[in-house]
Chain A
Amino acid sequence: MKKLKLKKRRRSPRSLREIISDILVRLPLLFYVVTIVIPFVFMLMNSLKTNKEFYANFWNLPAEPQWSNYTFGLQHSGILDMFLNTIFIVAGAEVLNIFSASMLAYVIARGKLKRSGLLYGYLMVGLLTPGVICMIPVFFVALVLRLYDTRSILVLVYAAFNMAFSVFVMVAFFKSLPTELEEAAFIDGAGYSQTFWRVMFPLTKPGLITIGVFGFLDYWNDYLLAMTLISTEAKKTVFLGVMKMQVANAVRTDWGPLMAVCIFAMLPVLIVYAIFQSRLMEGLTSGAIKG
């Protein structure tokens, strides 16, 4: 009761000047909000329209939602198979990246090696050179290893491209854990691997989620690497399929199904963002503040 009263008293009546400045401040914010929201609303609306409606007037609501755009789009483009491909590839890359990166990070953070700075610098190369310049060489490596046009090459390359970032996040994380934990585990007779897998690894769950979410967004949204490394239709990832539809759209326009497929392909990203957005920003900013 007392608290409430205090709070109420603190909010003094706003002057006209304050109200005007409040509105003025919100104008640019509103503009940005509009540029983000409107295109997506547009996309959603058009995914439910017939082609005729689309050309007639693009900001009318669909007379009758054409759910058939979704079924048609998904059935006739092979997108469903590509969607499944992407799920397998992303899952593989996630497991590979999360485990190998946290193991490597543990060695750097807690291995008490004299030259761990050297390892760190070696990984730094992966953060300080743009990934695009690796396109041709990665294609070459894939040919040499006879992995070109397989789904496994994407798993390996995704996991490797995100390695440096994941290791950096995990090193910071392991360094923040108290050393007493390991010592206690040793005294209780646990060996090195037991200490890591039973004690340290489970404790890093927040860090693992951070690198997992960032990894997921990278792998799922990738277009570049999939385009250079996959050529067979049956092995393509979902965005290669969407892009193909978009290119075909320039010739034989069919906006409804294209928009429907886009929304379908984006759904996992939306779900992950909805669940993990606070974790995502936390992970981002904790790293930023530690430098």
Chain B
Amino acid sequence: MKNERILKASKQQHQLSEVVLSLKRQKRQRYFFLFYMALPGLLLYTIFRFIPTVLGLVISLFNWRGTSMHMTYAGLQNYKTLLNDPIFWKAAGNHLYIFLINTAVVFTFAILLAALLSSKRLRERGFYRVLFFFPSVVPAVIINVLWMSVLNPNIGLLNGLLRLIGLEGKSWLGDRTLVKNTIIFVMAWKSTGFYMVLFMAAILNIPTSIFESARIDGAGNIRQTFMISIPLIWEHVRTSLLFFIVTSSGLGFNVIFMMTNGGPNRASEILTTYMYSVSFGGESRYGYGSAVAFAILVLTSLMALLIMAVTKREVYEY
């Protein structure tokens, strides 16, 4: 009797420990599974994206010619040179001008176009949507060839048209006062459609009942756009602004590097093209280039903070 009970209890205990064991095994299996699932992505991201972001700071403290792995420690020398470099300051000024104006232009037009195209009266809006989005997928090199041929002072399409209506053609990319605005135009031409599509979706996502009750209250289309559509998508606009400021410096580099390479006489030099020209562009001052890269990061963050502060509004829920 007693023996039997002991036997039973030990059996139960045995089963229990087996359950615990199998749970433990399962847990181990689960961690192993999660580990090997996360590993490839994390490794790639860490080695080729995260480490480089941090490494830039380290390289900026060295002098490095790029031909071998030989580096000499320079402390803050590169940053001191940077602060006394008139070209750097000029490039920083151009950088601010081009990106702030470009952001304003892109977002103004994207929002207005989105509001316009969300109106049901435009029956061909699908066509506009597909066409306006298109420039944002066109390769930067093609954009360069395309606009170089349109803007060419002698044989370009634009000056030809201007001459046809009796105006004088201009050197769009060769004139120091014009070049920055020409570049802003090309960049805005490429980016606007992308954000327009984003905002259009956001506006179409607003419940129609809100618009209907506004219409009953006597609000016209324009009033509805400024009082309802734009305030209600404002948070999307701000998120997109942040994304745009971060990504547009890459686009800016592509456009300016190919179309003017910072010229004429550095009138369109921005920090990214300057970073390239002091490092890969022949001077081989990679340490100094990294200091410029750090300045790009600082300036981009400052622009982001500024724009976020300026655009802060009350958030409307719907």
Contacts and interface: CB of A to CB of B under 8 A. Distances in A.
Contacts of B145: 43, 242, 246, 258-259, 262
A72 interface: no
Interface string A242-286: 110010000000010011001001100100010001001100110
A104 B44 CA distance: 11
Interface in B232-261: 235-236, 239-240, 242-243, 246-247, 249-250, 253-254, 258
A106 interface: yes
B157 interface: yes
A43 B131 contact: no
Interface residues of A, number: 90
Interface string A144-175: 10000000000011011101100100000000
Contacts of A69: none
Interface string A59-70: 100000000000
Nearest to A33: B131
Q: Main SS of chain A's interface residues?
A: helix
B1 interface: no
B41 A132 contact: no
Contacts of A144: 69
A59 B254 CA distance: 28
Q: Main SS of chain B's interface residues?
A: helix
A160 B134 contact: no
Given A32-B132, A137-B290, A42 B34 contact: no
B155 A133 contact: no
Contact of B132 (A36, A129, A131): A36
Interface in B133-187: 133-135, 137-142, 144-150, 155, 157, 160
B88 interface: no
Contacts of B140: 221, 223, 239
A130 B55 CA distance: 14
B41 A33 contact: no
A109 to B, nearest CB: 11
B97 interface: no
Interface string A202-235: 0000000000000001001101100110000000
Given A192-B29, A265-B141, 16 more contacts: A36-B132, A38-B150, A104-B38, A126-B45, A126-B49, A132-B253, A135-B275, A137-B56, A140-B286, A156-B47, A161-B48, A223-B141, A239-B139, A269-B139, A273-B134, A281-B197
